[in-house]
Amino acid sequence: MYCTKCGKQIRDDSKVCPSCGTPTGGGQKPKRSIFTRVLLGVGVWLASVILIAVIGTLLRLAERGQVLSNIYSLTVVIVPVLLTMMAAMPEQIMGKKPPKPAPAKQPPAKAETPPPPAPIPAKTAPVEPVAKQTPNVYVSLRGYEKRDRPARGRSLTTTVEDFVVLDLETTGLSPTACEIIEIACIRYRGGVETDSFVSLIKPGDMDAMTDLIVNLTGITPAMLQDAPTAAEVLPQALTFIGQDVVVGHNVAFDVNFLYDHAQRLGLGPFTNDYIDTLRLARSLFPERKDHKLKTLVKEFGIGESVAHRAAGDARQTAQCYQYMTKQPQKKQATEERAAPAPTVCISSPGLALSGMETAFVARISAILQEHPAFDKVEVQRRSDNYWTMVAGRNDFLRFKYTDRAKWISLDLPTHLREKNRENPAFAAQKNKNQRHWKASITGLNDLNDLADFITAACVEK
């Protein structure tokens, strides 16, 4: 079809002429001018005369008589005139619809004046607010849980002679969802063991004693069948600890469990300050790749690693603490300093981690090394946008850690995904039906808040 203004040919389905912007009005052809109609009429008249002359010649040859001759004579005059008139007529007379005019632009409607605000009613008796519903339980998010533990003690870096070593065995990694199955408290005065409190604890849910927990702790369901409950044991343990400084390896884990369980039983908050031998070991020996308790025991010459039980771990933690307090103190490392080579290997040839990415991988490695099930992690470049950390066949972690973007994506176990759909730590993850959940971070310290999730993504597969 053709544009009604500029006459250029355009597509049949075009609503606007691409050349002049005129609405096509359905794509009607332009009107013919008078000169065009005259030429068209003359052409049709000549064609009609020629055609009728041929027909007349054929009739004469056939000698059909006077009637046919008269009909022929009328045809010679009438037919060319009719054809000429039809060819020269405007489109409107031919039955074609004229193009639709472009709709006129209507002026924008004036914005309605908003009604005046309703008068403020006089003050009445205050209405009691509706009680809030119990919030969802956020599992294994230390940063969030810390906000729920305003009375928790401080993490100290000083040296003390009088302390209590604390170690727990639990059914999992989450203080809010898992239970304590063994507690050991060893009291030291002047660096010498003076007393101890050790007890198994029967969990409320025996189904939580999975094969992984049994193999890891050496504690079987049969051993716990006749054990006292947490309501019986924890008041005695808290009385035994008193106000002493608590020492432990990755002791924040134990403190969080004890804090939450004490609150749950109505025993009040656990407010004791604590010293973390894991933090102390990283500060004194940053060049070492492994700061696990069993590794420190072996390197310090304290003895062979014992079974993963609370009392044995507590005593060896005390020995490691006493050994490290005799070492010269070193300057604390900053968050973004050049980290020691992590216990990971980069399996993407020709690629190398930046300084920030190396520090990130070192922090992840340090978190994972505290779990006995941790073995080996590879760093792979499976995408141009991020790095992937793989443990065996488990693509458990993806990350991007640059000046412009910092995030981590974890392949969470099913039970953690179900319990953390409303967790603010994973607000960046829009589709909660995917396996990998994304969390935005601002620095390496945020990884400590996600440590339980990172460990679970790596080993709980």
List residues with catalytic annotation: 308
Q: Is 286 exposed, middle or buried (0-12, 13-18, 19+ CB in 10 A)?
A: middle
**Token code pair at residue 373:** 């099930």
Cα distance between residue 322 and residue 317, in whole Å: 9
Q: Which residues in 159-229 belong to E strands, given as ranges?
A: 163-170, 180-189, 192-200
CA 71 to chain centre: 91
Closest to 450 (Cα-Cα) out of 418, 422, 410, 396: 410
**Token code pair at residue 125:** 């008796």
Q: What are phi and psi of 249, to 5 degrees?
A: -95, 120
DSSP H helices in 63-119 = 66-88
**Token code pair at residue 201:** 């604890």
Cα distance between residue 258 and residue 254, in whole Å: 6
Cα distance between residue 164 and residue 148, in whole Å: 25
Torsion angle defined by CA atoms of residues 5, 7, 12 and 15, in that order, rounded to the nearest 10 degrees: -20
DSSP single-letter state for residue 386: -
**Token code pair at residue 72:** 């022929």
Strand partners for 192: 189
**Token code pair at residue 352:** 């190398």
Cα distance between residue 396 and residue 197, in whole Å: 39
| Identity of the residue numbered 270 | F
In this structure, are residues 27 and 10 in contact, taking their beta carbons and an 8 Å threshold?
yes
**Token code pair at residue 16:** 């606007």
DSSP H helices in 265-393 = 277-284, 293-299, 310-325, 355-369
Q: Are strands 246-248 and 163-170 parallel, antiparallel or unpaired?
A: parallel
